[in-house]
Amino acid sequence: MGMSVVLERPPVDPSGITGVLSKQLKRQRVYIFPTLQGWLYALMLIVMLLGAINYNNSMAFMLCFLLASLGLVCMIHTYRNLTGLILSSTLPKAVFAGQQALFPIQLDNRLSLARYAIQLESYATAKRLFRKRKQGHIASISVEAGKPSTIHYPVKTSARGILKLERLKLSTNFPLGLFSAWAYFEPEFHCLVYPAAKGDKQLPLNSLQKENVDYGMQAGTDDFSGFRKYRPGDPVNSIAWKAYAREQGLLVKQFSGKGSQTLMLSWNTVAYINDVESCLSQLCYWVLLAEKADIHYGLEIPDTKIDPGLGSHHKEHCLEALARYGNQ
C-alpha cells in the first residue's frame, strides 16, 4: 500500500525559477500498521473473547464483536485519510546560512472527504519500527474536502550551498490512534543557501573606481539629459514611471554629470581573511551594503565575474554566485 509514483510535471515558468512536481498517494503505496494502543486494544479483545467463551455469555460476545468491528472501521478510516492525496512541491525562497529554509508542500484533496491530523516529518528523524524517534521537526496539517492546503516545512541551515530536503514521511493516526498509516514523498527542489552576512561593516572604499563611460550617460545627480531603455539591474528609483504610464515602455532617466563610482568586490578585497567561508560571508555582507547604499558594484571570484550593476536581480545574481562557490 503506498505512494504512486505517477509524476505530473506542469509547465515550468519561462524564468526557470518556479515549477511543480506532483505525486499522488495510491493505495498500494500507503502502509498501515497497528500502534502500541492498537496492540493493547487487540489484546483486550482477546481477553474479552476468552472470558465470553469461558462463561458462555452472549452479551460479552456481542460487546467483543462490536469493539472488534469498531477497530476494523477505524483501520479503514485511518488508511483512507491518506489515500488519494496529491502532493506537490515548489521551489523554496533562498535564505542566508543560519536561517530556516521553508519548503512549500501542498496537499491537494480532490475527494469529498476531509483529511485530519496528517503529520509531516523528515524520514531521517522519523520513528521506525523498534527504533526511537530522533529529534526533528514534526508539522501537522488538516485538509478540507475538495481544497488544497499548503504547509511550509522548516529546515535549519548551518552552511551555505544547496540544501536538498530529505524524503518526507507523511503519517496519520486518525481517528482513534489504533492504527498508523504512512507514505513517503521526496521533493525534487532544493533551497539555495547564501553565506551568512557578517564581517567588516565598512565597504572597501579603496576599491571604488570611476566608471569609464561617456559624459552624460551615467545616472548621476546633476542636470537631466534624457532617457534610455531599461536594462536589468537598473535601480527602480531611476525609472521614468510617467513615461511608462504613457505606454512608452520602461525608460530610465539619465543625468549629465561626472559619472558614478563603482565598487568591484573581488578576492583581493578579502585577502586579509584566511578562511574561505569567512571571505564569502564578508563579500555577501558587502553586497548587501552596496545595494542598500545604491552604489554600483560588481563581483569577481574564482571562475565567476559579474559586471557592475544595481538592483534586486543583480543582488540575487551575486549572492547566488557566492552560495554556489565551489559547488558549480
Strand partners, 122: 168
Name the E strands within 230-302. 251-256, 261-266, 296-301
Q: Given a cut of 50, is residue 1 above it in pLDDT?
A: no
pLDDT tens track for 75-105: 999 999 999 899 988 889 999 999 999 999 9
The residue behind cell 493505495 is 27
Task: Give pLDDT, residue 7.
Answer: 29
Whether residue 234 is predicted with pLDDT greater than 80 in this model: the reply is no
pLDDT at 141 over 60: yes
Percent of residues, the chain, with pLDDT higher than 90: 44
Neighbours of 74 (CB within 10 A): 19
Residue 237 is classified by DSSP as: G
- What is the structure's pLDDT at 258? 46
Q: What is the mean pLDDT of the chain?
A: 81
Nearest to 188 by CA among 170, 162, 160: 162
Cα–Cα distance measured from residue 107 to residue 24, given in angstroms and rounded to the nearest whole number: 10
* Res 306 pLDDT > 70: yes
pLDDT band at 293 (very low <50, low <70, confident <90, very high): confident
Which of the 8 DSSP states describes residue 4? -
Bridge partners for 87 per DSSP: 23, 107
Residue 283 burial by Cβ neighbours in a 10 Å radius (0-12, 13-18, 19+): buried
Residue 37 confidence (pLDDT) above 90:
yes
User: What is 158-170 written as a DSSP string?
Assistant: -SSEEEEPPPEEE
Distance in angstroms (rounded) separating the CA atoms of residues 104 and 8: 17
- Distance in angstroms (rounded) separating the CA atoms of residues 31 and 324: 39
| Domain boundaries, given as residue ranges, for the chain | 1-194, 212-256, 261-323
* pLDDT score of 218: 44
Residue type, 257: G
Q: What pLDDT score was predicted for residue 213?
A: 40
**What residues have CB less than 8 Å from 128, skipping those under 6 apart?**
none
Q: Cα separation of 43 and 41, whole Å?
A: 5
- Of 88, 78, 308, the closest CA to residue 211 belongs to 308
- Say if CB 21 and CB 11 are below 8 A apart: no
pLDDT at 151 over 60: yes
- pLDDT grade, residue 303 (50/70/90)? confident
Q: Which CATH architecture has domain 1-194?
A: Sandwich (2.60)
Alpha-carbon distance values, 127 to 22, 169, 227 (Å): 25, 10, 63
| Alpha helix (H) residue ranges in 152-275 | 241-245
* DSSP string computed for 66-101: HHHHHHHHHHHHHHHTTTT-EEEE-PPPPEETTSEE
**Four-point Cα dihedral 32, 34, 38, 40, nearest 10:** 170
pLDDT > 80? residue 30: yes
| CA gap 182, 29 in Å, rounded | 9
pLDDT tens digits along 111-139: 888 999 999 988 776 666 556 666 668 88
